A and B are shown apart, each in its own frame.
Chain A
Amino acid sequence: MTTQTTDRPAPLSAGWTYAPAPENAAIAAVKDRYLPFVDGGFVEGRGEDAETFNPGTAEVLATVSQSTTDDVDTAVAAARRAYDEVWGPMSGAERGRYLFRIARGLAERARELAVLESLDNGKPIRETRDFDVPTAAQHFFYHAGWADKLQHLGLGAAPRPLGVAAQVIPWNFPLLMAAWKIAPALAAGNTVVIKPAETTPLSVLVLAEVIADAGLPPGVVNVVTGAGDIGSALVNHPGVDKVAFTGSTAVGREIQRSLAGTGRRVTLELGGKGANIVFDDAALDQAVEGIVNGIFFNAGQVCCAGSRLLVQEPVAEEVLAKLEARAQTLRIGDPLDKNTDVGAINSPTQKAKIDELVGSGVAEGAQVWRSSCPVPERGWYVAPTILSHTAGSMRVVREEIFGPVLTVETFRTPDEAVAKANNTPYGLSAGVWTEKGSRAMAMAGALKVGVVWDNTFNRFDPAASFGGYGESGFGREGGRAGMAAYLEDQS
């Protein structure tokens, strides 16, 4: 008999530290300087260069040539020409071929785009790799299929495109929002001038490369760069036929005011203050997952975030305890680390806004729980935060925070849950957690929101329409309703 003396390995019960697993930043092939994409070419903007930052480190990532209002004129003119001469007259089947090519191009450059998006936006590589980029490609694949089937949308025998679409998108899902906007517009036969947010232009400019490589005729898609003034010039440009905006409610209101009476078609996808409603019969462990996903996905910088937890009183304590324990396991830090769950906040402005609102919640008497996970010293980070003992009158419950901050309220009955959930000027999303199907259906009917998730949260599909009520905007993106937003009925 042999008994060897071997060392017992140290158990890891005192804690298991995952070694850093950073994705290689070089994969993003970040250039020093980026140019707007107008009329089929990357051309100098006539404005002064601006810098875009890496929120994970607060360092400059690249400089971007900025468009001026003159450049917007050029881009709109190019889009008009492309619409009149090439894209409008083209058959749906042929447009579909181009869209399929863009989708494949995105899939081929998926890794590069994921790293680039993570660098420019600050969101974790796990999200860009597993969600943003593949979903963006899916949107092109899905809409490519519609291009030659417009007569089956229920909009008459031959629905007509609108013309030139002006699109302004936010910084929270730069590439994905571009895909949401460009794919249906092109499938329907419109041409596009799109402006990414000034803090996150890079992935959209790489999408422009993919579009150029797909051989799209010049002017069909144009990307102009700049801040709010350029966005305003674009949406108010007399040469555009359709305006699609995703962003803050304040800007959305301004756009609607200035476009009133112009006869131009508008869709607005604005803010939200989504309620995540947990009943006492819910699958609690998965409800906790859904709450975490609802508010900490993309660090809560999501218009449809489940930022208000409404939990039924009998399980409130249990849910809150499980939630805090779960949120404590989230790993905050380097967005490029494959094990990071919560990355950086996109800009110091946004971080300041989040900090200010959390401060107001504390001042108004909310109880604060905050993850003790260490946060990097450089870069713009906010640790996951849960504000309990909040009341419907507090600013943190009423205003969109757009950060990893959850408020917790309790309710007693389904009616009270509906009343509290609907007691907001917004109406974008809600989650309902119950094992009782009839209750879920009844809740879905009673909630004044555009999207209701049943026993899940933050699930997106190109075939499902997305959009809001009230101050969350109007119009839908995705699915048949999303196509209808870019078409005119014609029998």
Chain B
Amino acid sequence: MTTYAARPDQAPETAPAAPPSTATATPAPPALPSHLAGATADEATLRRFLFGLPAVDPVGLEQRSATLATRSIKKASKLAAIDLAISMVDLTTLEGADTPGKVRNLARKALAPDPARPGTPQVAAVCVYPDRVATAADELAGSDVKVASVATAFPSGRSSLEVKLADTRLALESGADEIDMVIDRGAFLAGQYGLVLEQIRAVKAECAGRARLKVILETGELATYDNVRRACWLALLGGGDFLKTSTGKVNPAATLPLVQVLLQAVRDWRDQTGQQVAVKPAGGIRTTKDAIRHLVAVNEVAGPEWLDPHWFRFGASSLLDDLVLQRRAQLDGHYADPDTVALD
């Protein structure tokens, strides 16, 4: 059986997982209700807890998503949604070919997605690999745009915990405000839920007081909605600040039914703990129509409290271009030539 450290605030007799220096920087979160605090006591209890979560019926889930997708968002409600969606974008480049120049370009676009329309909101964050964080942070210094970085041997997560933590530290020390970690899907699919939880907690301990932690579930590799729901709860129990669907490197990535499962998890978590956790679909959302459908789901499944860039993000690159074009169309009454908007 795998053993792992419990949260210091739940089980003070166990050795705290986080170094005291960083742990004291943030106020301790409110204590979890006993059924959640006890859920992580040992591997067997954790497994029972995860398998005690209500199942997800795929037919019903997908039917609800299909119905939500028929919402017709027009006029002022559409423009408000476009502006909000722009402000929720984690503008992302995650290529082997990422150069400092490419990252700088992206950061400038994040600051001014449509310079021809000065009222266009800035995006939420720029998301890059750890070794490009310094460039992005330099370019974005003094602005409200955050620097997010994928760490923990992204995208596969197939390395040692030491390497993953070192990766995280590189990003943090280079100035990342947000860390996008990947869970160990191999461990999850082998039923080693404690190991998955332990790694989330270890990365969280690195981030504590310094950065918000996004936990990437890589839903495309978990394959079933039941698995996705269990992974959501592992991330929540591990102290994730965000549930994130995907790396963007695996298909299917963010679909409406998958995001619905995440939204149900954060809604239930808030109902049970009083803590609000953010959600980030990533990969596959390319059009304004898709983005608005997700916002409708946020509104009606989790609640309007999540309609805020602090609580919901879109991990995307080309989505921003379409949002900008659609924003112009809303304001001008006609569509602009796509070449009037910068590619990156």
Contacts and interface: CB of A to CB of B under 8 A. Distances in A.
Interface of A: 1-4, 6-21, 126, 130, 281-287, 289-290, 329, 338-339, 435, 455-456
B343 interface: no
Contacts of B86: 9
Contact of B56 (A9, A281, A285): A285
A15 B304 contact: yes
B235 to A, nearest CB: 18
Contact of A3 (B56, B70, B81, B143): B143
Contacts of A285: 54, 56, 60-61, 264
B143 A9 contact: no
Contact of B309 (A11, A17, A290): A11
Given A286-B59, A455-B57, 10 more contacts: A2-B108, A4-B112, A11-B310, A12-B304, A18-B77, A282-B55, A285-B60, A285-B61, A287-B57, A289-B60
Nearest to A338: B72
B61 A2 contact: no
B299 interface: yes
5 contacts: A4-B115, A13-B305, A18-B77, A289-B63, A435-B55
A14 B115 CA distance: 29
Interface string B114-132: 0100111110000000000
Contacts of A9: 80, 83-84, 86-87, 121
B29 interface: no
A470 to B, nearest CB: 29
A2 B112 contact: yes
A1 B54 contact: no
A8 B60 contact: no
B311 interface: yes
B31 to A, nearest CB: 22
Contacts of A435: 55
A1 B104 CA distance: 10
Interface in B36-95: 54-57, 59-61, 63-64, 67, 70-78, 80-81, 83-84, 86-87
B56 A21 contact: no
Contacts of B112: 2, 4, 6
A283 B120 contact: no
A16 B54 contact: no
B60 A19 contact: no
Contact of B70 (A130, A286, A287, A289): A130
B304 A6 contact: no
Contacts of B98: none
Contacts of A339: 71-72
A286 B121 contact: no
A116 B115 CA distance: 47
B273 to A, nearest CB: 15
Given A19-B73, A286-B57, A6 B80 contact: no
Nearest to A20: B74
A9 B118 CA distance: 12
Given A2-B108, A8-B121, A456-B60, A16 B299 contact: yes
A329 B299 CA distance: 9
Contacts of B87: 8-9
Contacts of B306: 13
B304 A16 contact: yes
B141 interface: yes
Which 4 pairs between the two chains have the least Cβ-Cβ distance? A286-B60, A9-B83, A11-B308, A21-B72
B196 interface: no
A1 B142 contact: yes
B222 interface: no
Question: Which of A1, A21, A126, A281 counts the most B-chain CB atoms under 10 A from its CB?
Answer: A1
Interface string B287-309: 00000000100011000111111
Contacts of A126: 67, 70
A17 B75 CA distance: 11
A81 B300 CA distance: 57
Contacts of B77: 16-19
A19 B304 contact: no
Nearest to A6: B122
A473 to B, nearest CB: 28
Contacts of A10: 80
A286 B56 contact: yes
A339 B67 CA distance: 10
Nearest to B75: A19
B111 interface: yes
B57 to A, nearest CB: 4
Contacts of A282: 54-55
Nearest to B121: A9
Contacts of B80: 9-10, 12, 16
A14 B121 CA distance: 19
A285 B60 CA distance: 9
A6 B63 contact: no
B312 to A, nearest CB: 9
Contacts of A455: 57, 59-60
Contacts of A287: 57, 60
Contact of B111 (A4, A8, A283, A289): A4
Given A13-B305, A286-B61, A8 B144 contact: yes
Nearest to A315: B54
Contacts of B83: 9
A283 B257 CA distance: 15
B139 interface: yes
B311 A13 contact: yes
Nearest to A318: B54
Nearest to B306: A13
A283 B75 CA distance: 37
A328 to B, nearest CB: 10
Contacts of A290: 60
Given A4-B112, A7-B119, A19-B75, A13 B307 contact: yes
A1 B139 contact: yes
Contact of B73 (A11, A15, A18): A18
Nearest to B311: A13
A119 B307 CA distance: 34
Contacts of B73: 18-19, 21
B135 to A, nearest CB: 12
Interface in B134-150: 138-139, 141-144
Contacts of A284: 54
A21 B74 contact: yes
Contacts of A11: 84, 307-310
A281 B51 CA distance: 11
Contacts of B121: 6-9
A248 B111 CA distance: 65
Contacts of A12: 80-81, 84, 295, 299, 304, 307-308
A287 B311 CA distance: 27
Contacts of A6: 111-112, 118-122
Question: Which of B61, B71, B138, B142 counts the most A-chain CB atoms under 10 A from its CB?
Answer: B71
